[in-house]
Structure 1
Amino acid sequence: MWSRLCLFSRSTPWYCLSAGLFTTGQSKQEAKVNEVMPNSSKAKMYLQDISSDLSHSQLIKNASSTTVDAASMLLSQSAVAIIAVYDSYTKSINDLVELLKLHAECLGDESAEDDLWQVIIQARVEVDEKVKAVQELTGLLNTSRKVLENAAEVAYLAGCEYSAITANEKLHTTHVLVENARLSSQKMESELAQAQQHDIEDVMNLEDSKNKENSKDQEG
């Protein structure tokens, strides 16, 4: 059973709403209800019955199209964010690679090595932070992609084929752009691994040279 709602208003004696019917002199399509808020201010609420204007099929199409637009915007912003982080991550790795190359040139100069190694440590911290950011945004991107995929399916079932096609195009475009950014960072990761390996080898070779010299001095 529908509850009866009665609100007092200064302009008219009573407004009564029962079983979804407006009993005031207002139209069936719109009713204005004065509502007392906690801060004593009054807000106006408009109730509108639009089922007589549009069919349920058209309403569903409109809603599905709006949902696709919102989901598409969410995916776009998620993709832009992760691409920006990938680009920053790639740059940080490149900076670290250059520092490792410079470190090889400083081997033997303990003072320069120590100063440079502090910079390398800080660069590695920044790289690790970018990795965490990529991981977090990857989860958001994957969820946003699923949201748009579901919205596209609903749009297709609702007969809104254009929205479904648009959603699929956005899914493909964002995938390509994000994948390109990921591959660029992956390429730099390979270069970093090589630079680290070379740095380790250079340090070991320097140590071997020192040990050999010490051995010769002891023998002499």
Structure 2
Amino acid sequence: MAALRRWKSFVSVIRSNSALVWPGVRPAVQRLGVRTALFTGGAAVAVGSTLCAVPFKQVEDLSHDSLIKRAASLVTDSSSTFLSRTTLALIETTILYSKAVHTLIALQKRYLDSLGKLSPAEEDAVWQVIIKQRAEINERREHCERLDLTWASAFKLCEAAAEAAFSSGAEQACVTIKSHLDLAQSQVDEVRKISAEAQTLLTQTKVLEVERMASARGSEDEEMPEAYLRED
């Protein structure tokens, strides 16, 4: 019996010492077990408690009408981008064409003003410059015509997209693309007006050139003896 009492007292001492040496071991183990449960089988409990604190997010409308409206909006956006790119390209190309025309007009006027004052070599050099400028004008005109066709296709595409957006109920997209159509039309009309004015000036310069050349030839013919003008 004495031995048994000594054994119990020894065990109690061991337990009290272990509690002093490793304090808080059991609570830490318990917390670890709780965390493990939260990330495994107890995850549903954590989610449930979170849902109680945070309101539910509205589910997006995935009806046919909503999807059609979104698709119509995407079509109007891409069509507007296509129209904007072609409009910018057409404007820049038309402006370059107009500048080339005005350069040719200036060259022809300078040539007409110097008729009879240039040597044959100088006159030939001037004509080479004029011919080169005319070739550049023809090239730029062809580029403008190609871009004009592309721009017309983009404009029609935007018109179709606007109609589709309106019929699908995407009113805002319809209003936006119509404003883009009006802006593009006004910008292109403005540069076309500038180009037409330059072309009119070029035509007038050509008429003046023909008159001046005819007058110069007439003067040369008057100076020639009558024997050279008579047909035998």
- TM-score clears 0.5: yes
Q: In the alignment, which residue of structure 2 is the partner of 1:149?
A: 159
Q: In the alignment, which residue of structure 1 is the partner of 2:63?
A: 55
Equivalent of 1:174 in 167, 170, 184: 184
Q: In the alignment, which residue of structure 2 is the partner of 1:68?
A: 76
- What code does the residue aligned with 1:95 have? T
> After superposition, what is the alpha-carbon deviation per residue over 1:65-112, rounded to whole angstroms, capped at 9, x for unaligned?
111010001001100000001100000000000010011122122222
Count of equivalent residues: 169
Query: Could you tell me how far 1:214 is from its partner in structure 2?
Result: 1.9
Contact 1:106 1:112 in 2 (8 A): no
Equivalent of 1:128 in 132, 138, 142: 138
Q: Comparing both chains, which one has the higher relative contact order based on Cα–Cα distances under 8 Å and sequence gaps of 6 or more?
A: 2
Q: In the alignment, which residue of structure 2 is the partner of 1:84?
A: 92
**Residues 196 and 52 (structure 1), Cα distance of their counterparts in 2 relative to 1, 3 Å cut:** closer
- 1:62 counterpart SS class: helix
Q: In the alignment, which residue of structure 2 is the partner of 1:188?
A: 198
Q: Quick one: distance in 1 between partners of 2:73 and 2:156?
A: 16
- 1:127 counterpart SS class: helix
Query: Could you tell me how far 1:212 is from its partner in structure 2?
Result: 1.0
Aligned pairs (5 A) from 1:200-211: 200-211=210-221
Q: In the alignment, which residue of structure 1 is the partner of 2:172?
A: 162
Equivalent of 1:197 in 185, 190, 207: 207
> After superposition, what is the alpha-carbon deviation per residue over 1:110-137, rounded to whole angstroms, capped at 9, x for unaligned?
2221110010001000110111111101
Q: Percent identity?
A: 30
**Residues 217 and 98 (structure 1), Cα distance of their counterparts in 2 relative to 1, 3 Å cut:** farther
Contact 1:103 1:199 in 2 (8 A): no
Structure 1, unaligned stretches of length 5 or more?
A: 1-50
Taking structure 1 as the reference length, the TM-score comes to 0.73
Structure 2, unaligned stretches of length 5 or more?
A: 1-58
Query: Could you tell me how far 1:53 is from its partner in structure 2?
Result: 5.0
Q: Quick one: distance in 1 between partners of 2:123 and 2:189?
A: 37
Return the structure number with greater helix share.
2
Aligned pairs (5 A) from 1:96-107: 96-107=104-115
Return the structure number with greater strand share.
1
RMSD of aligned residue pairs (Cα, Å): 1.9
Query: Could you tell me how far 1:52 is from its partner in structure 2?
Result: 8.0
Q: Which range is displaced more, 101-110 or 172-181?
A: 101-110
- What code does the residue aligned with 2:106 have? E
